[in-house]
Structure 1
Amino acid sequence: MNDRWMQGPQFLYMKEEDWPYTSRENYHAISEVVSVIPTSKFESWGKLLRVTAYVCRYMDALRGIKRENLALSSEVFQRAERVLYRHIQAESLLSELEFAASLRKVAKKTAQCSSIILSMKPYLNENGVMRSMSRINNAKWLNIYTRHPVILPDNNRATRLLIRHYHDKFRHIVVNEIRKKYFIPKLRQLLIRVRKHCFRCKMNVAKATPPEMAILPEVRVSAFTPPFSYSTVDYGGPFDIVHGRKIEKRWICLFTCLVTRAIHIEIAYTCSTDSFILCYRNFLCRRGTVRKMFSDRGTNFIGAEKLLKTT
């Protein structure tokens, strides 16, 4: 094993005056935090904001600013938001940013004359963030973000992450919530793109495809036949009834015509074969003979079929 790993560097055994000295003249400070954060590698606005807040706190530690609470406070998050705003504006709105900073005709010529940003009367606040001078400036009861919204471009990736964050948080009132704090051109078009890639929105607007209906059997479309010529039968219940001073169970024997959808109801005392035969005889006496009768595989129906075939 290397001796340097176990014993440390050799200059530590010498006097402090003999230690090697490295000049710091070549070191330079990072003016913007975002310059060390690749914003293109983030998939959510919350994670981008949180990482920027950690970097801001690390930069404060390098400057000698000590904090008792190591948790991220609201002040650190607000500072991270301002840093991201400046980075987004400097990346996509450079000419408009120069116009808002200098307010000279030269800077206005460098910007596009048809720019929507210039029509919003942009200006830079004390934090270097470009905001809009709206017409509701005198409404002091409103938030500063509502009176002077932050101007963000529509063609920046971080802006799309911000819109997706609001979309996941508020769903149906996204435009109202975003405009309380930001001014983004073509906001509704960006929201349409976000909804197209949102799985939950796809599920909400998806329409169920109805199944293809099968061809009706011949017994269902047999015209010019008496009612109940083609019938089905089934049981329903049991139902509790009061018989004297006792509570007994009764069933409904339901006969249905397959052509006219007419129904005939008989009362069955039990689920036995004899009880069904009694109901079937009453049905034949009232409705006439039946050409075909359909039922499920109940034991009372199977027993009645065997009994009717033998008689």
Structure 2
Amino acid sequence: MQNEHVRLLHTGQQLLLASVRLKFYGKSTAKKITYQCVTCFKVKPKSYDQLMDNLPKERVQPARPFLNSGVDYYGPVSVCPSHKRGVAPVKAYITIFVCLATRAVHIELVSALTTEAFLGALEQFMSRQGKCAHFQTTQPTSQVQITRILKGSIT
């Protein structure tokens, strides 16, 4: 049965069984041979479906740009403060604001990873894009502070 499977160039169970039935009978043997064949296992891998949760309502409902936003930092990056000779580059960070509904991106450059620098970037962002109803970050403590800023309890 194994020789017949290789001779038929690693065919499936039905063709192997039909070929072997000319001489022998044995569906379970044909099934066993095709399952144990390493070449057939590599050629026909099992595919798995990816499980995804439903998107949050901020991502699905139509809204004006940046009404529901996310924020994250990128960096550090080297920035030259002047084009003159002998001026050393300075370390800076990029604040990335992303609209959750339209996927638009707003980028601000900040000088440090401090609260004052972030508040300056947030102020510039909100002066250009308008006040946000919902902000999403990857840090839970930052999420609470930004929510307080948006509600006006911290200035």
For normalisation by structure 1, the TM-score amounts to 0.36
Q: Taking structure 1 as reference, are residues 198 and 305 closer, same or farther at Cα in structure 2, changes over 3 Å only?
A: same
Structure 1: 5+ residue runs without aligned partners?
Answer: 1-154, 164-183
3-state SS of paired residue (1:246): coil
1:261-301: CA deviation from partner (whole Å, max 9, x where unpaired) = 111000011111110000000000110110011112177x3
Pairing 1:310–2:145 present? no
The sequence identity of aligned pairs, in percent, is 27
Quote the offset at 1:302 in angstroms. Answer: 5.7
Amino acid at match of 1:291: A
Aligned match of 1:210 in 41, 46, 49?
Answer: 49
Post-superposition, which runs of at least 4 consecutive aligned residues in structure 1 deviate over 4 A?
none
Q: Taking structure 1 as reference, are residues 185 and 220 closer, same or farther at Cα in structure 2, changes over 3 Å only?
A: closer
Matches within 5 A, 1:250-289: 250-289=92-131
Structure 2: 5+ residue runs without aligned partners?
Answer: 12-29
The residue aligned with 1:241 is 79
The residue aligned with 2:59 is 220
Aligned match of 2:7 in 187, 194, 204?
Answer: 187
Larger Rg belongs to: 1
Q: Taking structure 1 as reference, are residues 208 and 240 closer, same or farther at Cα in structure 2, changes over 3 Å only?
A: farther
Amino acid at match of 1:188: L
3-state SS of paired residue (1:236): strand
Contact preservation (8 Å) 1:234, 1:295: yes
Matches within 5 A, 1:1-311: 160=2, 163=3, 187-188=7-8, 191-192=10-11, 194-199=33-38, 201-223=40-62, 225-244=63-82, 245-297=87-139, 301=142, 304-305=145-146, 308=149, 309-311=153-155
Contact preservation (8 Å) 1:230, 1:290: yes
Contact preservation (8 Å) 2:135, 2:143: no
RMSD over aligned Cα, in angstroms?
2.9
Contact preservation (8 Å) 1:277, 1:304: no
- Tell me, in whole angstroms, the C-alpha distance in 2 between the residues paired with 1:303 and 1:273: 13
Quote the offset at 1:203 in angstroms. Answer: 4.5
- Tell me, in whole angstroms, the C-alpha distance in 1 between the residues paired with 2:59 and 2:148: 27
Quote the offset at 1:185 in angstroms. Answer: 9.8
Quote the offset at 1:306 in angstroms. Answer: 7.9
Q: Taking structure 1 as reference, are residues 242 and 185 closer, same or farther at Cα in structure 2, changes over 3 Å only?
A: closer
Quote the offset at 1:307 in angstroms. Answer: 6.8
The residue aligned with 1:140 is none
More strand by share: 2
- Tell me, in whole angstroms, the C-alpha distance in 1 between the residues paired with 2:96 and 2:129: 13
